[in-house]
Amino acid sequence: MIHPPPREARGSDETHSNPRVGVTSQLRDPPALLRAMFDAAVVAADPLQRVPGFLPARPPGRVVVVGAGKASARMAQAVEQTWGGPLSGLVVTRYGHAVPCSWVEVVQAAHPVPDAAGERAARRILELVSGLSADDLVLALISGGGSALLALPAPGITLADKQAINTALLRSGASIAAMNMVRKHLSAIKGGRLAAAAFPAATVGLLISDVPGDDPAVIASGPTVAEPSTPAQALAVLAACNVPVPPVVREHLETTRGCPGPDDPRLARVTNHVIATPQQSLEAAAAVARQAGVTPVILSDSIEGESREVGIVLAGIARQVRRHGQPSPPPCVLLSSGETTVTVRGTGRGGRNVELALALALALRGAKDIHAIACDTDGVDGSEEVAGALIGPDTLRRGGQLGVDAAAALANNDGHSFFATLGNQVVTGPTLTNVNDFRAVLVT
């Protein structure tokens, strides 16, 4: 059973420098207003706010807390603050995203390419949920990044096999849904297998969505959700993306029965709640815009495609606002979320948000009164400890003055270096949540 999140969203009065001061005045400071909107989007998805309202009644037996993702440690902290003890369990999060917990062990591992620490943590999680009774409860705390962090290969497949395939998929431009389908069929814990291992105990999954459409089966590759796809479909994804397939992986996909399906009796006692979504964060950012006297237009919470192409489209919409006052006259901010992709062909470091921001700046060609921000809500764009970047009418000119060419940087997939030179990176550190990318294009 899957419950959608409630429609309410928490707004924020946050500004770049002080979360309680002077949002309205920020219309005179577009970068500060854009940053305030991004900060509000992040706060709206804070696990300390979202988790308590979704906790079930405590069971007569044991409570085992497990989880994976960039928000999982913060989610475990929220559980402890709400319930106290006794609890037991383990969550795995990205390096640098741990927070102190008293009852639940927090392990750190690599993302986006899995490592041995993630493999060990996933194996231990599977052991923790095995052998439970019908009186027990498994509380699964799942968020974006969990797919790479729950790195337990299926029998016969090595971690090195999964790392190579994951790296190739990341560089191929494959959608997150396609990547996660492959991950599920190469895993011993994803695609409903975690919940199946916990049976006959009840499993309650609390999910923070970082995927377009908020499909629980896609979030962290759905460790508590039935999987209708087949191994043959996963093999077809690898072929379509021109990913080399080791013989042992091909044999596994050609011979395995696949993941637990919707009719699997071991999933009969599973309930999943999506507790935070990109849409809620967009609504929180919209509230900040209104407070500043700016009309928000939420374009979509699920935009996909190549980052540079999405940047060009957003530039076209911004020009429509400036020239024709549609879909709203200025001052107006175009808000969107989703997960774009970067097909890395150059020698740069990728990063879908900086790539989108760079393409947007190039398409705008210095148009006055248009500023924008593009950031990942987890604080990490690609593999860089940078959330994203800000652009304005002077971005291209300043780049030229500083000796960096925007078009060359885009061709080389090197937006990170470009914005580092300009000093226009947005650096937050780990935000301890993850509801996908956030984009705001402000037309004043």
**Is the CATH number of domain 21-45+278-443 3.40.80.10?**
no
Tell me the C-alpha distance between 286 and 12, whole Å.
Answer: 10
User: pLDDT by residue (tens digit) across 254-304?
Assistant: 998 899 999 999 999 999 999 999 999 999 999 999 999 999 999 999 999
Residues above pLDDT 70, as percent of the chain: 94
Return the pLDDT at 25: 58
Q: What pLDDT, on the 0 to 100 scale, is given for residue 7?
A: 37
The β-bridge relationship of strands 105-109 and 370-376 is unpaired
Q: What are phi and psi of 105, to 5 degrees?
A: -75, 135
Query: 93 pLDDT exceeds 90?
Result: yes
Q: Average pLDDT over the chain, rounded to whole? A: 92
Q: Residue 3's pLDDT is what? A: 43
Tokens at 127, concatenated: 């052991």
Quick check: 419 and 397 in contact, CB under 8 A?
no
How far is Cα 425 from Cα 30, in angstroms, rounded to an integer?
Answer: 15
CA distance 394 to 404: 13
Output DSSP code: residue 306.
Answer: B
The whole-number pLDDT of residue 114 equals 87
| pLDDT at residue 9 tops 50 | no
The pLDDT of residue 336: 98
* Bridging pattern class, strands 88-94 and 63-68: parallel
CATH superfamily entry for domain 48-276: Glycerate kinase, MOFRL-like N-terminal domain (3.40.50.10180)
**Farthest-apart Cα atoms in the chain, separation:** 68
Q: Residue 197: name the closest of 256, 283, 123 by CA.
A: 123
At 8 the pLDDT is 37
Cβ contact 144:378 at 8 Å: yes
Integer Cα distance of 36 and 337 in angstroms: 16
Residue count of the chain:
444
3-state secondary structure (DSSP) of residue 403:
coil
Report the pLDDT value the prediction gives residue 10, as an integer from 0 to 100: 33
- Radius of gyration from C-alpha coordinates of the chain: 22
Distance CA 417, CA 24 (A): 33
pLDDT greater than 50 at residue 230: yes
Q: Under DSSP, is residue 382 helix (H, G, I), strand (E, B) or coil?
A: coil
pLDDT of residue 340: 93
Asked if the domains at 21-45+278-443 and 48-276 fall in one CATH topology, the answer is no
Which of these, 243, 268, 183, lies nearest to 217 by C-alpha position? 183
> What average pLDDT score do residues 131-143 get?
98
Q: What pTM was estimated for this model as a whole?
A: 0.88
pLDDT of residue 13: 33
Please tell me the distance from the alpha carbon of residue 164 to that of residue 245, in angstroms, as a whole number.
Answer: 9
H-run or E-run covering 332: strand 332-338
How much is the pLDDT for 26?
65
pLDDT of 22 > 70? The answer is no
Placement of tokens 């709206």 in the chain: 44
- Name the pLDDT band for 62 (thresholds 50, 70, 90): very high
Look at residue 28 in the predicted model and tell me its pLDDT. 86
Q: Does residue 170 surpass a pLDDT of 90?
A: no
**Whether the predicted pLDDT of 12 surpasses 60:** no
Residue 204 has pLDDT above 80, yes or no: yes
Neighbour count for residue 443 (Cβ, 10 Å): 26
Name every residue whose Cβ is closer than 8 Å to that of residue 212 and which is 6 or more positions away in sequence: 176, 177, 301, 302, 303, 304, 338, 339, 436
Task: Confirm if 161 and 249 have CB atoms less than 8 A apart.
Answer: yes
Residue 15 in this model has a pLDDT that exceeds 70: no
Segment 399-422 shows an average pLDDT of 97
Q: Band the pLDDT of 384: cuts 50, 70, 90.
A: confident
Residue 19 has pLDDT above 50, yes or no: no
Q: Taking residues 317-329, what's their average pLDDT? A: 96
Could you tell me the residue ranges of all domains in the chain? 21-45+278-443, 48-276
Q: Above 70 in pLDDT, residue 199?
A: yes
**How many whole angstroms separate alpha carbon 44 and alpha carbon 281?**
5
Q: Work out the number of other CB atoms within 10 angstroms of the CB of residue 407.
A: 12
CA 311 – CA 374 distance, rounded (Å) = 10
- Contact between 393 and 346 (Cβ < 8 Å): no
